[in-house]
Structure 1
Amino acid sequence: MYACSKTEIVKPQTEEIRFVVPSNFPDAVYKFDGNILTNNGFALGKKLFYDARLSADKSISCGSCHQQFAGFANLDHKVSHGVNNCLGKRNAPVLFNLAWQREFFWDGGAKNLEIVPINAITDICEMGSDLNTIVTFLNNTAPYPSLFKDAFGSATINSQNLLKALTQFTAAMVSANSKYDKVMRKETVFNPEEQQGYQLFKDKCANCHTEPLFTNLNYINNGLDLNSVDEGRKTITGLVSDKAKFRVPTLRNIELSSPYMHDGRFNTLEKVLEHYNVGVQANENLDVSLSKDSQLGIPLSNIQKQQIISFLKTLTDDEFIKNKIFSEN
């Protein structure tokens, strides 16, 4: 048996864990069919999410690259930082509202939420392990057998239930109670600058960052480079027309989840908007919305940029960010 601290305490989850579709959201894609959300399953998924012993050198957990205070992104790391101080090639995306996605990662390489953790588990620059090694570890490490029995009815752990538990935890991460949401529910109002920013956002940004998820879930090239080193979506589809296209990220909690873009090249929202103002490159796959009337990008004055940022800050969901049911401790 692997050693386990005698002082380790697994706190029971007393608050009932529920998945509720917000009133202003579309229906979710992930239905929890065959993976019924329970307190025991959620608590197990949370424990697994924060357990660095699942990585090859026992140093990296899912929570290492997906920090709650950063919207479950990786604050101040341009790209994922894994075992043996290995650096990946892409920025760690936020983890919330995953139940509304049909595809995952910057390139859409995973088609089912339940298989998403496999990428981080097996990637040599992330957790650097494999499912068989982790399952063996879990089967021989208290209190995991009893926790799996509580969650799934069997103390014999397999990879399917490992992935289901992680999915119960991550799929239950719903962020939908920002100031923006409260305005939409007519519980409060935007201040004048936020209102101006909201109107500008709808005029200039909403084509890709569509309400209420603030992403259209498509893949576009936004002119970061004339010739991109990272082929993006093309690595999945093989299509030249998909080269250097990446998933449109959600803007919810964007105030907290820097750095930005698939490679983390911008560390402030000001720099992001300045890119769209004057930095868009004429890539062969540039999205048509960024090349209108022979002009690249989205012209923005300094005042307009600040107004948009004021609106974007209304997408911060403090309740979600500080919700202890998702916290490690």
Structure 2
Amino acid sequence: MKQIYYSWRAMSGPGNSNAIKIISVALGLLMTILLMSRMALNHSFDTCYENHRQLYQLWMQYTINGNTLDRQQQCLGKLAGAIYEELPEMVVAATTTSRNMGQGLFRGDTKFSEKAIAADSLFFKTMGIEVLKGDPVIDLTQKDVVYLSESYALMIFGGDDPIGEVLKYNNEWELTVKGIYRDLPDNVTTPHKAVISMPSLWSREWGNYSWNGGDSWPEFIRVADGVDPVELNRRINEMLQKNLPDTESLQLVIDASPLTDTYMSNDEVRRMDRIMLVLSLALLFITTLNYVLITIASLSKRAKSIGIHKCNGAGSPTIFSMFIIETLMVLGCALVLMVILTLAFGDMIKDTINITPKQMLE
């Protein structure tokens, strides 16, 4: 207890530059945690789905006249359904989606412009999204049906029950609300607030849903426990060759990879992730070095008090422990200041790196 008391007296005394130490450490930690929080968010994309390690996204890669193109998320319309039918021992669910549904929903003359997608009846089962009301396996096989997220239904209908209510897509198609599902967080690669039944598109001949072109459908599969990804991809590509039209100038390869790898597969995201890692480690090192240098610079002013402690019987271990306690006190004050700065500048932080103070402090 005496060591804590003397450490506090030393901290509160003049000439120890403790204010500079606390501000320096607080700012250094704040910037380091900001960068690491953004990195953690990048690596947490698409982990919100139930059993997310079993959820895979399908990618296609064309080779045309010997030129291999980049992988693409847009796939042939028939692909996911064929995988589900022909590989039942490996794939427990599959879904085809369309992201080209950005016109918005209308209730009367009021437009709601949250993101909507179209999907087939196995969408919620495949993705592992909790359905709060409705039976999507039945409802999404019907034309002109829409499921709303919990927050979107509240936005449109307030506290009223939305089931059975009619909305309009692009103020043209009438869509009947038949279900509500749990909201997704921001860190997903396929964000949406509404899911429109795929037959709504098919009945209007929207897009080419076949083996012959029409590669505009993001598709996902849910694999069984213990499935070998290499064997899965081999079987998928064997099945693909049986269904593709014969052509010598075009080859196509399918790659099923975990959905959690999708966001980090972007070259720009990986590059920024590496940059943030280097910057965060450099900031942490500079903050530590800065604290050490300020402490060393103040030793000449502390020599008299250290001498008094030694004259009163304090040994080197005791003096060292007092410096450790003082360092812990500075660190504690810096953490408090860091939390205050985080809360005070929360809006600016969110606008800059898309991280909320709550996500940082978690």
TM-score range, shorter chain: under 0.3
In terms of fraction of residues, the more helix-rich structure is 2
Could you say which structure has the larger radius of gyration? 2
Structure with the bigger RCO (C-alpha within 8 Å, sep 6+) is 2
**TM superposition score normalised by structure 2:** 0.23
The TM-score with structure 1 as length reference comes to: 0.25
